[in-house]
Amino acid sequence: MQKIITIRTDSRNGLYDITSRVTDIIKESKVQTGIASVYARGSTAGIMIQENWDQSVQNDVVTLLKRLIPSGIWEHDHQDNNGDAHLKSGIVGASETIPIIEGKAGLSTWQNIFLCEFDGPRNQREVVVTVIRDN
């Protein structure tokens, strides 16, 4: 089963919680044991599993990446001023694979799934969720 989640982002850099939408797709699939692939379409976004206790960890991720990869100094900036977004996306990665255990996402209590925006705001980001049953 495969579904596409669309999300609007409201900042240049940010983490957007998509856990409930992914878990709804897993539930809809009726798969009891398998995997869910969560993939961000676009070369300036990523997917990350991170703590969901409060906003501090997400803020820290954004702050770290801004410090490691500042904007405005990259060769690609001469083309469309988003060289940093491409580099951040490459480091974070475009996808995560989540085990499906007894029909549910195999996340721990403090884990959530986030779309990472590095070149926003965007009217529409697409995340492809593919659910595969273990035979």
- pTM equals 0.95
pLDDT over threshold 90, residue 72: yes
pLDDT tens, residue by residue, 16-61: 999 999 999 999 999 999 999 999 999 999 999 999 889 999 999 9
Q: Match 């954004």 to its residue by tokens.
A: 62
Q: Match 């697409």 to its residue by tokens.
A: 126
pLDDT over threshold 90, residue 82: yes
Write down the pLDDT at residue 113.
Answer: 98
* Cα→Cα distances 91→11, 25, 117, 120, Å: 19, 27, 13, 17
Write down the pLDDT at residue 25.
Answer: 98
Write down the pLDDT at residue 135.
Answer: 77
Give strand ranges (E) for 24-121. Answer: 33-40, 45-51, 95-101, 104-105, 111-117
Per-domain boundaries in the chain: 2-133
- The CATH class of 2-133 is mainly beta
> Please, what is the average pLDDT of the chain?
97
